[in-house]
């Protein structure tokens, strides 16, 4: 809807020159989480092809197209450009705006968290002449360590303040897993999953093993009984007793 205002105000707006105030650059940084084959928490990092921090690993993201997109859309566009991901769970995290966090100029960065199952994350290696890789996150005395078999990166070697962003994202994810439906976004297939798959996701994120009978009980109470999840008339068999399959519905609210 167009902004309604008086003639006097309209004149003010027409004369308004935004360029008279110095403005900061604004970027988005996106922490894309997934679980790897071993069910370990992993994150997508991109090797920078440009200065600053050339050849360093960083979170995907980039400058906002001012006036052409919202910050949310900027994050979505950057993610699509760099990884091809179009529809994934998005959540704004925090805005980093310390002085000198970017050596070029004042850069304010709005960070986002994305959750996606690994098979949907087709990393476009070589796109934009950039390396993009998924790294398993582990810890040692120096802090977070990112490794993918070939490469090992320590948090202090990441570009910008991206270690801070990742730390905050993991913390938020760990908190949210208990009261939001985030775990479902990491399922291979939300429309057909076993309780044990969901349990593994919770175990990975919380970094502790859970009791299956108890997990099942709260799952039934919180999701099946509330119709957020429906039980399918279907089972899947791999080893041991076949498992019931469930389909995630959600409550169709966007936050």
Binding interface with its own copies (CB under 8 A): 3, 5, 8-9, 12-13, 16, 18, 21-26, 51-52, 54, 63-64, 66-72, 74, 92, 94-95, 97-100, 103-106, 108, 110
Q: Name the binder of 240 from DNA, its own copies, none, CB < 5-8 A by kind.
A: DNA
Q: How, if at all, do strands 89-96 and 131-140 pair? A: unpaired
Tokens at 79, concatenated: 């993610």
Tokens at 138, concatenated: 């582990």
243 touching DNA, by CB under 7 A: yes
Q: Which of positions 186-225 make contact with DNA (CB under 7 A)? A: 194-196, 211-214, 216-218, 221
**Minimum Å distance from CB 215 to DNA?**
8
**Minimum Å distance from CB 182 to its own copies?**
16
Neighbours of 163 (CB within 10 A): 18
**Minimum Å distance from CB 12 to DNA?**
52
Q: Name the binder of 46 from its own copies, DNA, none, CB < 5-8 A by kind.
A: none
37 touching DNA, by CB under 7 A: no
The whole-angstrom separation of Cα 41 and Cα 78 is 22
The whole-angstrom separation of Cα 247 and Cα 255 is 20
The whole-angstrom separation of Cα 125 and Cα 131 is 5
Neighbours of 249 (CB within 10 A): 15
């Amino acid at each position: 809807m167009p902004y309604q205002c008086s003639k006097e105000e309209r004149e003010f707006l027409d004369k308004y020159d935004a360029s008279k105030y110095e403005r900061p650059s604004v970027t988005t940084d996106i922490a894309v989480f997934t679980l790897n084959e071993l069910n370990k928490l992993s994150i997508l990092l991109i090797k920078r092809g440009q200065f600053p921090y050339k050849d360093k690993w960083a979170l995907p993201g980039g400058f906002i197209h001012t006036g052409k997109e919202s910050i949310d859309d900027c994050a979505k566009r950057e993610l699509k450009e760099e990884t091809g991901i179009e529809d994934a769970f998005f959540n704004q995290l925090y805005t980093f705006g310390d002085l000198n966090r970017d050596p070029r100029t004042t850069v304010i960065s709005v960070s986002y968290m994305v959750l996606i199952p690994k098979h949907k994350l087709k990393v476009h290696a070589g796109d934009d002449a950039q390396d993009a890789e998924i790294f398993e996150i582990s810890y040692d005395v120096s802090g977070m360590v990112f490794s993918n078999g070939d490469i090992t990166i320590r948090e202090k070697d990441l570009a910008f303040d991206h270690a801070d962003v990742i730390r905050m994202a993991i913390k938020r994810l760990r908190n949210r897993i208990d009261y939001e439906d985030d775990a479902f976004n990491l399922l291979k297939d939300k429309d057909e999953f076993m309780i044990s798959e969901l349990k593994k996701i919770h175990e990975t994120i919380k970094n502790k093993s859970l009791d299956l009978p108890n997990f099942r009980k709260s799952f039934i109470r919180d999701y099946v009984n509330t119709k957020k999840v429906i039980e399918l008339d279907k089972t899947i068999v791999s080893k041991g007793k076949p498992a019931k399959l469930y389909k995630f519905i959600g409550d169709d609210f966007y936050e």
